[in-house]
Structure 1
Amino acid sequence: MTEHDLFVVLIAIHITTGAPGLIGFWIPVLAQKGGERHKWWGKIFSVLMLITGTVAMMMATLTLLYPMPTHPHLVDHPEFSDPVLVQGIFGWMMFYLGLLTVNLTWYGWRCAVNKRDQRKNQTALNWGLQAALLAASANCALQGVLISQPMMIGISMVGFATVATNVWFLMKTDPSPIEWLLEHIKAIVGTGISVYTAFFAFGAVRLMPELALAPGLWAIPLVTGLALIFYHRHKVTQRFTQRTARPHQRRSMDLDAAE
């Protein structure tokens, strides 16, 4: 099996898990929070994204080792025929996005599972993912500087922000009852942003490689995702405020229902 053959197999796995995830993302987002559909699809989405992100890192590693054999359609491309550029965009940046997806998915999932005891999130795996993403973010920015790609520098800021906010929550010894849910929303919707960004940007490579650097393709998922995060955070905060103001109101206002 050649490097390209292995790369094609990884692409097939990536699409098989990623495509249902792109669709499945919206079901828990739109479904009643805390309902069985929300929980079931949330778990399915999380598993699919963990696989998709891991495979993306494997594809990126192959690209770093064999940039042109894994992307033979770019050999004669006027811009992407440079192996260094291919390694930068489809190697280093894709590895970073894959790790970002895994980091956010695992962190967001654990925040919901361990909502009653945040200390259970302070595992070696969770801390390791933060350290790995910090290193990957710094490397993505550095590689962007070395090959003069501002897009790589800009997108790395998402990783730095993710690590900072994740660590801020993980280090808390007595978080408020609402914080686990706010972090869950941030992380899972952030996963959606990461995956849709990669889908629009890297998926366009097969048709028009230069679209991978188009700011619009990166901006659409980011703006949509941030809008969802702010909307749901506002709704949750509002509901929590109402519940604390009226502690005897019915069970449906209980934040436990938002798991």
Structure 2
Amino acid sequence: MLTFFHILVALHIAFGSVGLISFWVPVIGKKGARNHRLWGKVFAYAILGAGSIALMLSICTLIDPLGTHPHLKDAVFVRGIFGYMMLYLAILTLNLAWYGLMTLRNKANHTANRRGLNLALQPLLIIAALICAVEGVLIGQYLMVGMSIVGFATAGTNLFFMFNPNPPPKAYLKEHVKAIVGAGISVYTAFSAFGAVRLMPSLALHPGLWAIPLVIGLAIILYHHRQIRLSLKPRSLKPAGAAS
């Protein structure tokens, strides 16, 4: 089990590293340009790969918590943080990355957002967030409860958009930004926090460490949402008497 687990960890790091680096190209670059589209897809598919492997890592941990984490001694803690919370974060990441791709792909066919995997991931995320919150209360790790709120909010806002029969202009673009940047927040949070368990165990569950990627990500989302709103405003008419 441990050898298989280490192989999964290596693959997870490989996919996640590609996601960590490629995330910034579409965020900083010109929107809609070739590099934006190319690296946006690289990021999304890398995160889907990392999230899928994280799902397997969490299941392995739930099956054998101390066998997969021999450097840690508290099975309840390991099962809670590396099992239930990682399971939830993996589903959250998969949800965001897939939803971000679908909102753009279905921009001309809004009803297609309410089909298949895109729809199924919403109740799945709600269930995973609920399990994470309950487990957090049971083992006294209230960070798990706080993190679960992100999942409830994500699924709630996703469903609101998906079932809106007449979304406003460019609402799909705001949802795309929310989801893709949200996936970036998720992967940066996971790498910084779970990595800290090995390097700085005393700081690993400090709320500040988990809050940094969230604050930066929210700032990016708000900035791009503002840019989208400004793009919807009609251009000012030329002043009277201006040269034609």
What TM-score bracket applies, with the shorter chain setting the length? over 0.9
2:106 is aligned, of 104, 114, 123, to: 114
Q: Which residue of 1 aligns with 2:151?
A: 159
Q: Which digits, 9 at most, give the CA deviation of each residue in 1:96-148, with x for residues without a partner?
A: 10110000000011111111111111112111100110000000000000001
Q: Which residue of 2 aligns with 1:179?
A: 171
- The whole-number CA distance in structure 2 between the counterparts of 1:216 and 1:20 is 25
DSSP 3-state at the match of 2:68: coil
After TM superposition, the runs of 4+ consecutive aligned structure 1 residues lying more than 4 A away are: none
Amino acid at match of 2:183: T
Q: Structure 2: give runs of 5+ residues left out of the alignment.
A: 238-244
DSSP 3-state at the match of 2:108: coil
Task: Tell me how far 1:48 sits from its aligned partner.
Answer: 0.3
Q: Which digits, 9 at most, give the CA deviation of each residue in 1:175-226, with x for residues without a partner?
A: 1221000100100010011111101100112212333211121010000000
Residue 36 (structure 2) pairs with residue 38 (structure 1): yes
Amino acid at match of 1:145: V
The count of aligned residue pairs is: 237
- The whole-number CA distance in structure 2 between the counterparts of 1:210 and 1:242 is 53
TM-score scaled by structure 2? 0.95
User: In the TM superposition, what are the counterparts of 1:60-75 in structure 2 within 5 Å?
Assistant: 60-74=58-72
Q: Which residue of 2 aligns with 1:25?
A: 23
User: In the TM superposition, what are the counterparts of 1:1-259 in structure 2 within 5 Å?
Assistant: 3-74=1-72, 81-242=73-234
Q: Percent identity?
A: 52
DSSP 3-state at the match of 1:72: coil
Q: Structure 1: give runs of 5+ residues left out of the alignment.
A: 75-80, 247-259
- The whole-number CA distance in structure 1 between the counterparts of 2:219 and 2:234 is 23
- The whole-number CA distance in structure 2 between the counterparts of 1:242 and 1:94 is 45
CA-atom RMSD in angstroms: 1.1
Task: Tell me how far 1:31 sits from its aligned partner.
Answer: 0.7
Deviating more after overlay: 90-99 vs 208-217:
208-217
Q: Which digits, 9 at most, give the CA deviation of each residue in 1:214-240, with x for residues without a partner?
A: 112101000000000101101110111
- The whole-number CA distance in structure 2 between the counterparts of 1:97 and 1:210 is 21
- Which structure exhibits the higher relative contact order, with contacts defined as CA atoms closer than 8 Å and separated by 6 or more residues? 1
- The whole-number CA distance in structure 1 between the counterparts of 2:215 and 2:105 is 28
